[in-house]
Amino acid sequence: MMTETQSHATNPWLPRFYRIAKITHEATAISTYELVWDDATASPACAFLPGQFNMLYLPGFGEAAISISSDSECTDSLSHTVRVVGNVTRALARLDVGDQVGLRGPFGSAWPIDACHGCDLVIACGGVGLAPLRPVIYHVLRHREHFGRVHLLYGARTPNDLLYTNEYDAWRSAGVEVNVTVDLGDEDWGGRIGVVPMLMDRLRLDAAQTRLFTCGPEVMMRFVVFEALARQVRPEHVFMSMERNMNCALGFCGHCQLGPAFVCKDGPVFTYPQLAPYLRVEDF
Amino acid sequence: MSPTPLTVGAIVMLAKDDLQAVIDALRQRGYRTIGPQVADAAIIYDDIHDVHQLPIGMLDLQDGGKYRLQPSATAGWFDYVVGPHSLKNYLFPPRETLLSIDIVDGQWQMSPPAPAAEPIAVMGVRACDLAALEVQDRVFLHGPYVDPAYQARRANLFTVAINCRRAAATCFCHSMQTGPAVRSGFDLALTELDEAFVVQIGSDRGAELLADVPCTACSPDEAAEAQRVSEQLAQDMAQRGTASRETAAGEPRERSLDTRDIRDLLLGNLEHPHWDRVAERCLSCANCTLVCPTCFCSSVSEISDLSGEHVQRERTWASCFTAEHSSMNSGVVRKSTSSRYRQWLTHKLASWIDQFDVSGCVGCGRCITWCPVGIDITEEVAAIRQEDAR
């Protein structure tokens, strides 16, 4: 176990080593890793804001940028919902409870939850895009009285790709309207089939009161935003979490640039007006 | 020793051969001394112990995709300009280890590299390269995070700058307002006269060093002559104007860049047809990003031995001209050469201003010279300006 050293304060490249406390299988090739920091001598290292991400590190494999999917008011552990897509995530999938994982973070901008108190929320996400929004849902559950109507619009490719399915009932009973859709159903699927932007049709929005948080494939987000703007939601009330190649998370490596922004430090959460000039430019 | 008080801002004279005493004094103080010298038919930076390693009497002829060395009987000690290397090669080296990790008794143990850096002194640094140093400082020192390795090297850097007497055809520091005169950020700044150097002291370290160097008082005439060197060159470059000046057959066009409204010009023309026209020539080879003294993109990779128990995290220069640069698990963002050139140019001259409050271009012209097909940043901007689609 690496102990806290002076160098962590001055060297942002140094990971801290956490231990896996729990692994939850979520969906096809997707698991949630709950990490704890077992150095009780130092200050809590699990504080974060909903929407932020960590760099998870496995020596010999490298780092991957993974959003934090746990409750930000529960600071004894950090959960990361990870889909196996590359070298690092494949190595992570081979680990067991008790194994070490390096971690740098948290990094990046957050969903503006406090600024949305008193408003209606539309949370629109696709696939693992629900992971960085689960902390928002947990916040809503803890502080339900601060929000008006709260809609979760969530889609995945198939029913087997849906995340956190065993939590939807609790979310519904706490006053979150959960609308789920899949691209391709199976014989047990009795829910909706279709894409996430389509779920906007079901909502009767009070446009001036609505704040939209969206995360998922860029094309999905573009259509969700299009639908919201068409319903007179104000552009500055639309927030998007962007994905780019995040190599360092410090604004040094340059890979995650999106026009003037470094997605790692200026994002990943942006307002729509920040992104609007660039979203439709091909290959930008 | 000098009759003039050796203080910051003071100007003294140094006999040409006594530049050796500067090198010796630096080495006595533990500096690794770096200076320009000829290698592989170009002037590069390398270790220097003897002033005669300098490319004395050498000129460099530079143009789009062209670089030639030519001895000249009238050339002085520093009348070549910039080669492919810059201070970046030393402060932000092409390859470095950020972290070593060993597995000991089943536990990972980390060792960051020692924070102390070998002190480096670089001679013959041009105004454009000092400007580039300040640009990289903004990236690695003045953001929300500080890169500790860069910081350690930067703190131990000693610069002996030189005021250019000559500009290559590819130089356009006057357009970027970074030169030709060296203004700040140096420890010592030399101006070459026929028989001696006029030395301006830029820092306490520079003043302290000169105590061990046989310099003499500088007369008002000599100081004025030194000042005229930069003024004359600035005047010559300013006459290049903003449009291409007619040149004699076979002579390279002398560059300048019209920077008016350049951020909005470029970000307002992201779908300009000229990006595709450049892409027809661009090889996406990344040379421009490697020779650029401000380009800072890098990748960290994991170097492991066969046992997997000894791992190094190694940072190497990266380039926005590669697919890897914008590669995500869902695919590559910038798939075409056109989109990569657009990224490079709009970052360098436009979004850099949003990010760091300064242009990413210092007008050194390296990207023009070292482009294998001679793509010219000044011409590409002019082409976009000519058909501004806003």
**Alpha carbons B296 and B261: distance in angstroms, whole number:** 24
Which one-letter amino acid corresponds to residue B301? Answer: S
Higher pLDDT pick, A41 / B232: B232
A6 to chain B, any CB pair closer than 8 A? The answer is no
Computed from CA positions of residues A230, A236, A239, A241, in that sequence, does the dihedral angle turn out positive or negative? positive
Whether the per-residue pLDDT at A252 is higher than 60: the answer is: yes
Residues of A in contact with B334 (CB under 8 A): 283-284
What does the pLDDT average to over A53-67? 96
Helix (H, G, I), strand (E, B), or coil: what is residue A220?
A: helix
**Residue B264 to chain A, least CA–CA distance (Å):** 12
Whether the per-residue pLDDT at A100 is higher than 70: the answer is: yes
Give the list of residues 6+ apart from residue B214 with CB closer than 8 angstroms, or none. Answer: B1, B14, B15, B18, B21
What is each CA distance from B18 to B44, B215, B373, in whole angstroms? 22, 8, 42
Size of interface A-B (CB pairs under 8 A): 121
What does the pLDDT average to over B228-248? 79
Residues of A in contact with B300 (CB under 8 A): 62-63, 247-248, 253
What's the half-sphere exposure (Cβ side, CA atoms, 13 Å) at A179?
A: 21
Query: Per-residue pLDDT tens for B151-191?
Result: 999 999 999 999 999 999 999 999 999 999 999 999 999 99
Predicted confidence at residue A4, as pLDDT, reads 46
A185 to chain B, any CB pair closer than 8 A? The answer is no
Give the list of residues 6+ apart from residue A161 with CB closer than 8 angstroms, or none. Answer: A27, A28, A30, A127, A182
Which one-letter amino acid corresponds to residue A102? Answer: G
Q: Is B302 close to A59, i.e. CB distance below 8 A?
A: yes
List of E strands, A183-233: 192-193, 210-215
Hey, which residues does B37 pair with through a beta bridge? B44
**Residue A282 to chain B, least CA–CA distance (Å):** 8
B378 to chain A, any CB pair closer than 8 A? The answer is no
Name the burial class of residue A20, with classes exposed (0-12), middle (13-18) and buried (19+) by CB atoms within 10 angstroms of its CB: middle
Residues of A in contact with B304 (CB under 8 A): 59-60
Whether the per-residue pLDDT at A44 is higher than 60: the answer is: no
Contact status, residue B145 vs residue A251, Cβ threshold 8 Å:
yes
Query: Per-residue pLDDT tens for A168-201?
Result: 999 999 999 999 999 999 999 999 999 999 999 9
> Would you say the ipTM is above 0.95?
no
What does the pLDDT average to over B16-33? 98
Q: Is A254 close to B297, i.e. CB distance below 8 A?
A: yes
Q: A15: nearest CA in chain B?
A: B110
- Continuous segment of H or E residues that includes residue B280: helix B274-281
Band of pLDDT at residue B1, cut at 50, 70 and 90: very low
Band of pLDDT at residue B241, cut at 50, 70 and 90: low
Strands B157-162 and B120-125, sheet pairing: parallel
Beta-carbon count within 10 A of B327 CB: 16
Strands B216-217 and B11-15, sheet pairing: antiparallel
Give the list of residues 6+ apart from residue B300 with CB closer than 8 angstroms, or none. Answer: A62, A63, A247, A248, A253, B98, B313, B314, B315
Whether the per-residue pLDDT at B247 is higher than 70: the answer is: no
**Residue A27 to chain B, least CA–CA distance (Å):** 18
Whether the per-residue pLDDT at B367 is higher than 70: the answer is: yes
For testing contact with chain A, the best of B111, B302, B335 (most A CBs within 10 A): B302
What is each CA distance from B218 to B15, B210, B225, in whole angstroms? 11, 14, 11
What does the pLDDT average to over A29-52? 84
Backbone angles phi, psi at B132, to 5 degrees: -65, -35
Q: Is B329 close to A86, i.e. CB distance below 8 A?
A: yes
Whether the per-residue pLDDT at B366 is higher than 90: the answer is: yes
For tokens 């290292």, name the residue.
A45
- Smallest Cβ–Cβ distance between B108 and the set A17, A252, A262 belongs to A17
- Smallest Cβ–Cβ distance between B311 and the set A10, A14, A60 belongs to A60
Which one-letter amino acid corresponds to residue B186? Answer: F
Contact status, residue B118 vs residue B98, Cβ threshold 8 Å:
no
**Alpha carbons B232 and B238: distance in angstroms, whole number:** 10
Give the list of residues 6+ apart from residue B178 with CB closer than 8 angstroms, or none. Answer: B127, B128, B130, B131, B362, B363
Whether the per-residue pLDDT at A93 is higher than 90: the answer is: yes
Predicted confidence at residue B248, as pLDDT, reads 63
Predicted confidence at residue A157, as pLDDT, reads 96
Q: What is the pTM of this model?
A: 0.94
**Alpha carbons B141 and B351: distance in angstroms, whole number:** 19
What's the half-sphere exposure (Cβ side, CA atoms, 13 Å) at B114?
A: 3
Contact status, residue B358 vs residue B131, Cβ threshold 8 Å:
no
Whether the per-residue pLDDT at A156 is higher than 90: the answer is: yes
Distance of CA B303 to the CA centre of its chain: 29
* Residue among B384, B305, B353 nearest B135 (CA): B353
**Alpha carbons A55 and A265: distance in angstroms, whole number:** 13
Contact status, residue A225 vs residue A212, Cβ threshold 8 Å:
yes
Residues 294-313 of B with CB under 8 A from A: 296-302, 304, 308, 311, 313
Distance of CA A84 to the CA centre of its chain: 16
* Residue among B384, B389, B78 nearest B259 (CA): B384
The pLDDT > 70 percentage for chain A reads: 95
Predicted confidence at residue A41, as pLDDT, reads 58
What does the pLDDT average to over A90-110? 96
Contact status, residue B58 vs residue B83, Cβ threshold 8 Å:
no
For tokens 């552009």, name the residue.
A235
Which one-letter amino acid corresponds to residue A62? Answer: G
**Residue B150 to chain A, least CA–CA distance (Å):** 11
Strands B66-71 and B298-304, sheet pairing: unpaired
Predicted confidence at residue B112, as pLDDT, reads 80
Query: Per-residue pLDDT tens for B285-296?
Result: 999 999 999 999
Residues of A in contact with B108 (CB under 8 A): 2, 17, 59, 100, 102
Mean pLDDT taken over chain B: 94
A98 to chain B, any CB pair closer than 8 A? The answer is no
Predicted confidence at residue B249, as pLDDT, reads 65
Task: Look at A6-20, A183-197, B124-138, B341-355 and tell me which has the smallest mean pLDDT.
Answer: A6-20
Query: Per-residue pLDDT tens for B334-360?
Result: 999 999 999 999 999 999 999 999 999
Contact status, residue B73 vs residue B96, Cβ threshold 8 Å:
no
Contact status, residue B66 vs residue B170, Cβ threshold 8 Å:
no
**Alpha carbons A259 and B354: distance in angstroms, whole number:** 9
A273 to chain B, any CB pair closer than 8 A? The answer is no
Inter-residue long-range contacts of B302-307, CB under 8 Å, 24+ positions, other chains counted = B302/A59, B302/A60, B302/A61, B302/A62, B304/A59, B304/A60
Q: Is A278 close to B328, i.e. CB distance below 8 A?
A: no
Q: Is A265 close to B330, i.e. CB distance below 8 A?
A: no
Query: Per-residue pLDDT tens for A211-251?
Result: 999 999 999 999 999 999 999 999 999 999 999 999 999 99
Q: B305: nearest CA in chain A?
A: A60
Give the neighbor-by-neighbor strand order of the sheet with B11-15: B42-47, B32-39, B120-125, B157-162, B188-192, B196-201, B11-15, B216-217
